[in-house]
Amino acid sequence: MSQITRRTALVAGAAALATTAALVPARAASYGTPTLSLSAGYLSGAVGAVGDPVVDVTVAQSGADASALTVSVTASSKSSVAGTGDVTVTGAGAVRRLAVAARGKGYTTLTVKVAGLGGKSATKTLSYAASGAVRDPAGTRYLTGSSDASAAVDLGGGFAVVADDESNVLRLYDRSRSGAPVRTWDFGSQLGVSKEVDIEGAARVGDTIYWTGSLGNNKDGEYKAPRNTVFTTKVTGSGASAQLSFGGAYKKLREDLVAWDEAHANRYGFAAATAAGQVPKQIDGFNVEGLEFAPGSTTTAYLGFRAPLAPAVPGGKALLVPVTNIDRVLAAGAKPVFGTAVELDLGGLSVRDLRRNDAGQYLVLAGSWAADDNSDPYALYSWDGVPGHAPVKRADLPTTDPGGWEAVVDVPDLTQPGARVQLVTDNGSADLYGDGTEAKDLARPEFKKSRAAWFTLGS
């Protein structure tokens, strides 16, 4: 080979090597293993529900932009409850939103997967529980974290504080959405109790909310001191920013009521009803479930009784007992002064809640004195708060869905056609998921829930 030919070949070979080197990256791109986290590991929904709670899924991968990652649900342990096709994931950035449309009642475990670049992925599981369909799902919301709602007070801005008769925790909920409370307060330590007060009634005056325990024996007929508690909380702010602080407590109201009744010839049988062995939820029992202030008053409050009826026979009237100085009782420990009892004809039903608006219009949530919450009738009555004036039935409430009607959140203008009211149920005794477990006994608080429903009042 000539010198010129050899030189030409060397130049050509060098050019080919340069071209090949230009086509091969100096170093392959490196991606880490994707990560994902769930805002909740347990989620409860309902068949046919509107506005069920959702879960936020936060994703990331080193070396990749979050928008390049894909989130999906790839498996379900029980597709009859919710399959992969019943899950919707929205959003495109680092945080995605996962929603489940329940197919049937029960439990399932959903596998959530993030697929990243470089063929890498990661998974987490979400435990999901679905309760059954209810009447008017569009007007229904679920308050999760507790199943035993017992009293509710509007705090403005679309939020309400809700009590639980199985604990001393007060929970702040968005009234328009299903989901967990945005804030909680546990006043057990300030009350000096380790067991539940059995909160059943509440009433607000200004920045003070009054709360009352049932004052009765427990379901086994035993006296439990925490239940003989009335206390106050102070409200600051409103809506989502509302805060509660402890005010004061009084723990002798049951004894005072018994003494008052004895001084009036045992008209209502309070002494016998509070004796050892007497259960509270019977027609001649002793059980307070309503609390509200008298018309135009900030000092006189009506105690509404679930039991006894007056007289304690089928068809008897519902009983209210006024405490005329409740402000002084709670602020200074004054001896309660009781006014003349009020007896309301609620068609043989008793008081399950009592609520007044600023115009002095009342709604009485009426139900049975018995403990079988779902089988007996419920109704709403309007009233002007004046003793001797008859209440007027405004609606019969449905009893086919789980839970007993327990609380009126607030009272609309009852003179307006089509006025709507939001009620809350106590679901503690309900088998929500078809596994034979009462809601109050569920292991996961995220699966416990009460139901809030809107109703249009008749004329």
* Average pLDDT score over residue span 244-268: 98
> Are residue 94 and residue 163 in the same domain, yes or no?
no
- pLDDT value at 226 more than 80: yes
Measured distance CA(3)–CA(11) in Å, rounded: 13
Q: In the predicted model, is pLDDT for residue 435 greater than 50?
A: yes
- What pLDDT shows up at residue 292? 98
Q: Return the pLDDT at 12.
A: 46
Q: Are residue 297 and residue 319 in the same domain, yes or no?
A: yes
Lowest-confidence segment of 19-33, 78-92, 125-139, 413-427 by average pLDDT: 19-33
Cα 135 to Cα 434, 452, 453, 454: the distances in Å are 18, 12, 9, 11
Is 176 part of any domain? yes
Are residues 125 and 231 both part of a single domain?
A: no
**Confidence grade of residue 16 (pLDDT, cut at 50, 70, 90):** very low
Other Cβ atoms closer than 10 A to 207: 12
Confidence bin at 324 (pLDDT 50/70/90) = very high
DSSP symbols for 29-64: ------EEEES-SEEEEETT-SS---EEEEEE-TTS
437 and 379 within one domain: yes
Answer whether residue 428 is part of any domain.
Answer: yes
Q: What is the pLDDT of residue 371?
A: 77
Tell me whether residue 24 is in a domain: no
Is there a domain that residue 6 lies in? Answer: no
Domain boundary among 106, 131, 156: 131
The answer, yes or no, to whether residue 319 has pLDDT greater than 60, is yes
Tokens 């991968």 locate to: 61
Same domain as 238, residue 162: yes
Last residue of a domain, one of 131, 157, 178: 131
Report, as an integer, the average pLDDT of 82-101.
98
Residues 207 and 307 in one domain: yes
Kindly state whether residue 161 falls inside one of the protein's structural domains: yes
What percent of the chain has pLDDT above 90? Answer: 92
Start-to-end C-alpha separation, the chain: 113
Do 252 and 396 share a domain, yes or no? yes
Q: Is residue 10 part of a domain?
A: no
Query: Are 107 and 154 in a shared domain?
Result: no
> Count of domains in the chain?
2
For residue 122, the domain's CATH number is: 2.60.40.1080
Q: What is the pLDDT of residues 102-116, one digit of tens each?
A: 999 999 999 999 999
- Partners of 420 in the β-ladder: 456
Statement to judge: residues 62 and 204 lie in one domain: no
Q: Is 143 in the same domain as 99? A: no
Instruction: Look at residue 14 and tell me if it is in a domain.
Output: no
11 pLDDT higher than 50? no
Which of 131, 158, 186 is the endpoint of a domain?
Answer: 131
Q: Provide the pLDDT for residue 195.
A: 95
Mean pLDDT value across the chain: 93
Which domain does 88 fall in, by range?
A: 35-131
| Residue 26, burial from CB neighbour count under 10 angstroms (0-12, 13-18, 19+) | exposed
Structure confidence by residue, pLDDT tens digits, 364-407: 999 999 977 677 899 999 999 999 999 999 999 999 999 999 99
pTM, entire model? 0.91
pLDDT of 24 over the 60 cut: no
Q: What is the CATH number of the domain that holds 195?
A: 2.120.10
pLDDT for 373: 62
Please check whether residue 22 lies inside any domain of the structure. Answer: no
Task: State whether 187 and 106 are in the same domain.
Answer: no
Q: How confident is the model at residue 27 (pLDDT cuts 50, 70, 90)?
A: very low
- Same domain, yes or no, for 152 and 114? no
Q: Are 231 and 249 in contact (CB under 8 A)?
A: yes
